[in-house]
């Protein structure tokens, strides 16, 4: 018979054991947490002096490095910053030749595949904006001959700068008196722009995505990382993503995304809660037969439309024998495999961006349909064929609507104004119509197209097609006539007639008013819904 005393003894024993288990569990959990939060870096002999000195001079930098996988494998300051005597950015520091700049070529010593992929990518070409109308706006329109601060602090921080050095009257690089460090031009450095043009001829900056000095995978996989540049009135991808069902699912389930996972990060295997930018554009995914695909550093390979220019086109991809890539709009005749093509490549030489003609042989052609199938491969991890195919039908229809109703007619009018001498091609923002046209496609048209591509309904319509249509009719067309009038009364008359003829086309007949049937249906809907 079990007595009350026995029951009390057993209860005491169970409580004691329970407390012991809890104590052990908490101790182990604390140990695991401490081990995860405070990893012990491996400091090699080559890096010992760097670490000991910079722990005092830049302690947060060293602490961040200590959290990195680099530190866990003994890769430190000297391994990334080492330089050779005679290199333009090299200087002797504490007995070693180093460079402040770390370029993709430096990273390639350990990451050759990633370097090869990135160097041929759209991202690596981002610095070519330096010769575009975007840069004209920043340097000329919003700048001064001796002050290009808008370009330096704005455009170049995403697209990348041309890294330059201060020089004397003879053109020699200046060095600091105390350390002998080459003096970087403050207009070009610091800069972590994606397409930065480096003195060693490389393009890009790895830490644009893999922020130094921790280089955490979770950061480069997170949408916010892409949102540093892909945002704003002309390409609001991060705002569209946040509005979309994908973005909402990510925000709600971030802790299920395995963002910290080392090595491969595969959709359908390591995570399933939501896709991020990296998932769709460069990430690995599982195919129907269980094969992993993806995981590269070329964000454009799966894109079948180009949504950047005035008029969107489907884009095929031509890959040459040295890995160089070039997009071919679907209206452009594709070359044949093995054919030699003279390509024009922009290269950085002697602190200038120059066009270089390079003969290359065609090695492979990837059609826009094949590129789309690659993107669909990621979609099919969560959706069925019908869902994916119908989404693309909706997306395609929106792009075609924008092209045919607004972009092509607007571009044709701008071309004719230029041919008639109304617009000066060397003065791209001289007339009001040029500003309106710019925003029509560069801002509003892009927002509509990107909104449809990423399932952001508000950006597709209210920030996109609504503003495209409103400004096309109420601002752009009147500005065309106004510009023509400044040339001559005859030119004004010509463009008034041209626009009147255009507005008789079916797609513009709405300006004459709704049909009686449509007006009646609208009145009845308002009475039913709003009782008025």
- Token pair of 200 as six digits: 């060693």
**Does residue 79 lie within any of the structural domains?**
no
Could you tell me if 468 and 475 are in contact, meaning their C-beta atoms sit under 8 angstroms apart?
no
Residue 36: its pLDDT value, please? 56
Contact 53, 96 (CB under 8 A): no
| Residue 97 belongs to a domain | no
Angstrom distances, CA of residue 401 to CA of 178, 312, 404, 406: 63, 11, 5, 8
Q: What angle do CA 186, 189, 193 make, to 5 degrees?
A: 140
Range of the domain at 50: 39-73
Residues 483 and 438 in one domain: yes
- In a domain, residue 206? The reply is yes
Q: With contact defined as beta carbons under 8 Å apart, do 303 and 315 qualify?
A: yes
Number of domains in the chain: 6
Q: In this structure, what token pair is assigned to residue 108?
A: 């390639």
Mean pLDDT of 293-311: 92
Q: Is 223 exposed, middle or buried (0-12, 13-18, 19+ CB in 10 A)?
A: buried
Co-location of 407 and 450 in the same domain: yes
Tell whether 293 is covered by a domain. yes
Cβ-Cβ contacts under 8 Å for 159 (sequence gap 6 or more): 126, 127, 129, 130, 193, 194, 195, 229
Quote the CA–CA distance of 219 and 211 in Å, as a whole number. 8
The chain-wide mean pLDDT, for the chain, equals: 92
Percent of the chain surpassing pLDDT 70? 93
Question: For residues 161 and 128, what is the distance between their CA atoms, to the nearest angstrom?
Answer: 9
Measured CA to CA, the distance from residue 425 to residue 419 in angstroms comes to: 9
Same domain, 178 and 249: no
- Chain Cα centroid distance, residue 177: 40
Chain segment 259-285, per-residue pLDDT in tens? 999 889 999 999 999 999 999 999 999
Same domain flag for 448 and 317 = no
Question: Are residues 320 and 289 both part of a single domain?
Answer: no
User: Do 332 and 466 belong to one domain?
Assistant: no
- Calculate mean pLDDT across residues 401-428: 97
In a domain, 198, yes or no: yes
Task: Compute the distance between CA of residue 45 and CA of residue 77 in angstroms, rounded to an integer.
Answer: 11
Q: What is the pLDDT of residue 514?
A: 85
For residue 96, being part of any structural domain is answered with: no
* Contact (Cβ atoms closer than 8 angstroms) between residue 86 and residue 154: no
What is the arithmetic mean of pLDDT over 358-372? Answer: 97
Let me know whether 478 and 408 are in one domain: yes
pLDDT of 15 > 90? The answer is no
Question: Helix/strand/coil (H, E, C) string of 462-474?
Answer: HHHHHHHHHHHHH
28 & 46 share domain: no
Q: What is the pLDDT of residue 33?
A: 47
Residue 458 lies in a domain: yes
């Amino acid at each position: 018979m079990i007595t009350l005393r026995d029951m009390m003894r057993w209860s005491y024993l169970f409580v004691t054991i329970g407390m012991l288990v809890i104590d052990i569990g908490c101790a182990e959990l604390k140990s695991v947490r401490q081990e995860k939060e405070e990893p012990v870096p491996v400091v090699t002999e080559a890096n010992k002096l760097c670490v000991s000195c910079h722990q005092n001079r830049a302690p947060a930098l060293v602490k961040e490095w200590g959290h990195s996988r680099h530190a866990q494998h003994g890769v430190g300051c000297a391994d990334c910053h080492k330089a050779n005597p005679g290199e333009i950015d090299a200087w002797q520091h504490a007995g070693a030749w180093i460079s402040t700049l770390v370029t993709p070529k430096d990273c390639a010593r350990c990451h050759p595949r990633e370097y090869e992929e990135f160097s041929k990518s759209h991202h690596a070409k981002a610095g070519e904006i330096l010769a575009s109308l975007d840069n004209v706006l920043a340097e000329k329109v919003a700048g001064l001959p001796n002050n290009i601060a808008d370009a330096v602090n704005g455009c170049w921080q995403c697209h990348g700068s041309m890294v330059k050095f201060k020089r004397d009257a003879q053109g020699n690089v200046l060095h600091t008196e105390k350390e002998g460090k080459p003096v970087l031009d403050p207009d070009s450095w610091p800069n972590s722009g994606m397409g930065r043009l480096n003195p060693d001829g490389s393009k890009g900056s790895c830490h644009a995505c893999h922020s130094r000095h921790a280089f955490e995978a979770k950061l480069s996989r997170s949408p916010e990382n892409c949102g540093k540049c892909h945002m704003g009135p002309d390409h609001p991808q991060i705002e569209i993503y946040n509005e979309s069902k994908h973005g909402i699912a990510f925000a709600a389930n971030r802790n299920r995304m395995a963002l910290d996972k080392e090595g491969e990060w595969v959709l359908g295997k390591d995570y399933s809660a939501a896709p991020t930018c990296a998932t769709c554009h460069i990430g690995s995914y599982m195919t129907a037969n269980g094969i992993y695909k993806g995981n590269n550093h070329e964000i454009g390979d799966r894109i079948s439309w180009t949504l950047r220019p005035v008029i969107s086109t489907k884009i095929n991809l031509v890959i040459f024998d040295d890995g160089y890539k070039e997009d071919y709009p679907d209206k452009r005749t594709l070359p044949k495999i093995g054919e030699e093509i003279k390509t024009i490549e922009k290269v950085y030489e002697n602190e200038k961006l120059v066009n270089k003609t390079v003969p290359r042989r065609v090695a492979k052609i990837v059609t826009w349909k094949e590129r789309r199938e690659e993107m669909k491969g990621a979609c099919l991890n969560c959706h069925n064929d019908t869902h994916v195919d119908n989404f693309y039908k909706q997306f395609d229809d929106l792009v075609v609507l924008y092209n045919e109703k607004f972009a092509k007619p607007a571009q044709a009018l701008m071309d004719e104004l230029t041919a008639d001498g109304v617009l000066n091609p060397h003065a791209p923002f001289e007339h009001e119509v040029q500003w309106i046209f710019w925003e029509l496609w560069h801002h509003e048209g892009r927002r509509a197209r990107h909104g449809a591509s990423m399932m952001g309904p508000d950006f597709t319509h209210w920030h996109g097609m609504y503003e495209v249509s409103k400004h096309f009719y109420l601002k752009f067309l009147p500005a065309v006539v106004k510009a023509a009038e400044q040339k001559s009364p005859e030119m004004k008359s010509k463009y008034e007639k041209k626009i009147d003829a255009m507005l008789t086309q079916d797609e513009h007949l709405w300006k004459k008013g709704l049909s009686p049937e449509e007006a009646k249906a609208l009145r009845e809907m308002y009475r039913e819904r709003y009782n008025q």
